[in-house]
Structure 1
Amino acid sequence: MVQNEITIAGGGLAGAVAAITAAGHAPGTAVTWLVAESEPLEELSRTGSDQRLITRLCDDPSELLPCFPRGGNDVLPEFYAFGPQQTLEWCQRHALEGLTRENGTLRLAEEAPPLAAQLTALARRVGVNIRTEEKLVAVEAKPQGGFWITVTNERTVQCQRLILAGDPLNTPQAARAAESLGHTVERPVPSLFNFLIDDPLFKNMRAERVKNVLLSLPALGLDTSGPLELHPWGLAGEAVLALSSRAARELVQPQGQALRINWCGPLKVSRLLEERVRLHPRQRLVSEPVAELPDPVWAHLLTASGLDPDRYWGQLKKPELRKLKESLELTELHLTRKKLASPERAICGGVERGEIDFETMASLRSPGLYLAGDIVDVDGFAGGPHRQWHWTSGHAAGLAVCDRTRH
């Protein structure tokens, strides 16, 4: 039996940050990082993943809140404690090579070693014992405190404190371990995806963007608002991501699901139409879209309303305005399929947030247990926001296992 003081199970970014932080703040402590894959941080090397992205930069962490459709209010205070600015300082303090700012993100320069390689080397440098190809099999709490951990080949590891940081989809053993230690685990399913739709609206469609729509799934009683992107294959954008997060389980099989769009979002449509008639009576309909809608969308709505695009606004009768109002407020489409919005997969599900102290990422069910990253039921948009959650939760857990307060 191998005995460690601190064990981290999970080979992703949250696990790496937790292991490095714990070893750095508790020199001489035996810190072991269990990685199921052949190399640590394989998720950062996945095809299509941004291998050099560190996080999204912002002046105020509250700017990240809209990027977390699930768990945003829980994680926001922790972003103030350790957010993008603190992540930058952490990287500088640990001398990561090639740090650069680009388009609102913190990333590594092309000529610098990839993030996965740098963090793995850093973990070894601070004394982390990295055990690759060691999958978590089972965890049992010891009566006197601490844990027995069974890994690949029935090897047993004993530790005083444990951080679970595994992806519950790729490594369901992490979720089962949390359940065995008293936690409620929501069944994990992929989240944050785009909607593929076969409809005349998208015929010959270029990539277009609408500033603010109201999007709803009437059968599920769910709606959200925000920017919407239109593509030849269907819909994307913040509104779609937020709705797909809330409906991730119900949309495991999305085919045929009705989706409704109010193209004007929170704006009062009748007032917008009245203003067009009053202010632009001699303008053709086609040249004066409502709510700055893209030309292809506006043309489609005029056709759906039975209106000639070359008519003048001042010529429209009340029944015609009523029909146009109905089209603007309710366009119904039907989902064909879905596709993940990014290779950096987000997950709906994991350990219930109410069972975790987010300040320390400590379990409220099992003393000595901490949770970080994707195993927690938090959804963040792919890219910078998702990675920041891994930095923040991994750092909080890594400090807490050392009984250190954050600074």
Structure 2
Amino acid sequence: MQIAIIGGGAAGFFAAITCAEANPKTRVLLLEKTSKLLAKVRVSGGGRCNVTHHCFTPAVFAQHYPRGAKQLKEAFKQFGARETVDWFAQRGVKLKAEADGRMFPITDSSETIIECLLQQARRAGVQIRTGASVESILPVQQDGNQHFILQLAGGESIKADKVLVSTGGNPKSQGYDWLRQLGHAIQEPVPSLFTFNVPSSPLKELQGVAVPQARVRIAGQKLEYEGPLLITHWGYSGPAVLKLSAWGARLFYDQKYIFTALIQWVPGQTEESLRQELQAFRQAHPKKIVSSNPLFGLPQRLWQGLAQLAEVPEEVRWAELPAKNTNKLVEALLRMPVAVNGKTTFKEEFVTCGGIDLKEVNMKTMESRLQPGLYFAGEVLDIDGITGGFNFQAAWTTGYLAGKAMA
């Protein structure tokens, strides 16, 4: 039996290895259109490869996917983060967890993961071809059996009994046209995981200042996220913004990336508790200068910036601070408005939401419900996770399930 896997990324390799190991009689051919295999694995996590996330409860793990959470919950019971850690360990690659839950190889090098996958593929007898661009998949009925003809750029055609598409996400809708030809519906691709551009940011002079915990809320929406926040020269970044961008990917796209975000620099505080703390500090330290004595553990430069926003005179002491400036300071700390106008891709996190509609895929086997013998894995599906190892885990999981089913 000949199995063709289209796409030499994380999902494609995992499916190829799983399939070849589960049934050594199959001929597994992996086709990659570029000259580079596992390109995204190489650059992920700043070249360290964020393999998965340290969370071994499938239902909790699945909550980190703006799209695909419900379907992945069951899939993670078959092959989740724990199984991924064990899989690599059994093949000589130990993973370690960092304080934020992200898991990396102990070598801190993505080359370790790439070497492992290449070695396992070779050992399992997977044939790998680079520079092989598949332009179309044609289902053919012959003697009551179905197979597929893969048409490659350059005129070559390949016959396969089963085909897995693991070509990754595509930022352009027409990138999915060859799959629409097979009758599949596509959820339109839009960017996910991006930073907020704020050209008029009142704090842009503070680039590089970060807080470990802030809450970012979208005005007029229920969308909010809490986590580390970074001020950049173009606006705002850090996990709080990136994760919010994933949950709001379609909304922000519809709004052409023009909206108002409200930043709460002290997420543990209510207006009442905040005013009480400011009043208590004022009584205890009436002679201290407001702008040069940061509260709530905020960085000095950020506190000064917020005091300027509240129009607090530079040398004014707590005892002399007028009520109107106190009110403005409370506003700046609790809900500082920023006018977002545009987005910037975050480093190597080029994630797209959209892809093959999950209703058309049997998520136990990753087989198409419309074309028997056709399978999907990885970001070509309408699945995307927030940053932190979740997108790779979806690739390992869907690749594994597809590989097992095809074998």
TM-score by length of 1: 0.82
Aligned pair partner of 2:384 in 379, 389, 393: 379
Aligned pair partner of 2:401 in 370, 384, 396: 396
Q: Is the 8 A contact 1:49 1:344 kept in 2?
A: no
Task: Report deviation, 1:102.
Answer: 6.0
Instruction: Tell me the distance in 1 between the aligned counterparts of 2:291 and 2:62.
Output: 37
- Number of residues of Structure 1 aligned to a counterpart in Structure 2: 395
Instruction: Tell me the distance in 2 between the aligned counterparts of 1:180 and 1:266.
Output: 52
Q: Is the 8 A contact 2:239 2:387 kept in 1?
A: no
Q: Is the 8 A contact 2:5 2:163 kept in 1?
A: yes
Q: For residues 278 and 315 of structure 1, do their structure 2 counterparts lie closer, same or farther at Cα, with a shift above 3 Å needed?
A: farther
Q: Provide the residue aligned with 1:134 in structure 2.
A: 132
Task: Report deviation, 1:209.
Answer: 1.3
Aligned pair partner of 1:345 in 331, 334, 350: 350
Matches within 5 A, 1:248-327: 248=249, 250-251=252-253, 257-265=259-267, 267-278=269-280, 281-283=283-285, 284=288, 285-286=290-291, 292-308=297-313, 319-327=324-332
Q: Is the 8 A contact 2:193 2:351 kept in 1?
A: yes
Q: Is the 8 A contact 2:210 2:229 kept in 1?
A: yes
Letter in 2 for 1:109: T
1:87 aligns with 2:84: yes
Task: Report deviation, 1:227.
Answer: 1.4
Report Cα offsets for 1:38-77 as digits up to 9, x if no partner.
Answer: 2432333459852555334345456645643333343244
Letter in 1 for 2:161: Q
Q: Is the 8 A contact 1:187 1:349 kept in 2?
A: yes
Report Cα offsets for 1:125-146 as digits up to 9, x if no partner.
Answer: 2122223221121123334534
Q: Provide the residue aligned with 1:99 in structure 2.
A: 94
Q: Provide the residue aligned with 2:226 in structure 1.
A: 226
Instruction: Tell me the distance in 2 between the aligned counterparts of 1:8 and 1:108.
Output: 30
1:361 aligns with 2:366: yes
Task: Report deviation, 1:346.
Answer: 1.4
242-251 vs 46-55, which deviates more?
46-55
Q: Is the 8 A contact 1:54 1:108 kept in 2?
A: no
Q: For residues 171 and 202 of structure 1, do their structure 2 counterparts lie closer, same or farther at Cα, with a shift above 3 Å needed?
A: closer
Structure 1 unaligned spans of 5+: 403-407
Q: For residues 253 and 135 of structure 1, do their structure 2 counterparts lie closer, same or farther at Cα, with a shift above 3 Å needed?
A: farther
Q: Is the 8 A contact 1:225 1:265 kept in 2?
A: no
1:36 aligns with 2:33: yes
Task: Report deviation, 1:240.
Answer: 0.9
Instruction: Tell me the distance in 2 between the aligned counterparts of 1:331 and 1:145.
Output: 60
Instruction: Tell me the distance in 2 between the aligned counterparts of 1:286 and 1:262.
Output: 19
Q: Provide the residue aligned with 1:405 in structure 2.
A: none
1:122 aligns with 2:120: yes
Q: Provide the residue aligned with 1:187 in structure 2.
A: 188
Letter in 1 for 2:362: D
Matches within 5 A, 1:10-159: 10-46=7-43, 49-50=46-47, 53-60=50-57, 64-65=61-62, 67-93=64-90, 95-96=91-92, 98-101=93-96, 103=98, 105-107=103-105, 109=107, 114-143=112-141, 144-159=145-160
5-14 vs 105-114, which deviates more?
105-114
Instruction: Tell me the distance in 2 between the aligned counterparts of 1:67 and 1:237.
Output: 16
Instruction: Tell me the distance in 1 between the aligned counterparts of 2:109 and 2:6.
Output: 31
Instruction: Tell me the distance in 2 between the aligned counterparts of 1:273 and 1:167.
Output: 50
Structure 2 unaligned spans of 5+: none
Report Cα offsets for 1:335-387 as digits up to 9, x if no partner.
Answer: 45533223142112211233333333233333222211110122224462222
Instruction: Tell me the distance in 1 between the aligned counterparts of 2:155 and 2:64.
Output: 41
Letter in 2 for 1:299: Q
Q: For residues 18 and 36 of structure 1, do their structure 2 counterparts lie closer, same or farther at Cα, with a shift above 3 Å needed?
A: same
Task: Report deviation, 1:90.
Answer: 1.4
63-72 vs 17-26, which deviates more?
63-72
Q: For residues 47 and 267 of structure 1, do their structure 2 counterparts lie closer, same or farther at Cα, with a shift above 3 Å needed?
A: closer
Task: Report deviation, 1:244.
Answer: 1.9
1:7 aligns with 2:4: yes
Instruction: Tell me the distance in 2 between the aligned counterparts of 1:125 and 1:24.
Output: 9
Q: Is the 8 A contact 2:292 2:304 kept in 1?
A: no
Q: For residues 159 and 382 of structure 1, do their structure 2 counterparts lie closer, same or farther at Cα, with a shift above 3 Å needed?
A: same
3-state DSSP of counterpart to 2:284: coil
Q: Is the 8 A contact 1:22 1:399 kept in 2?
A: yes
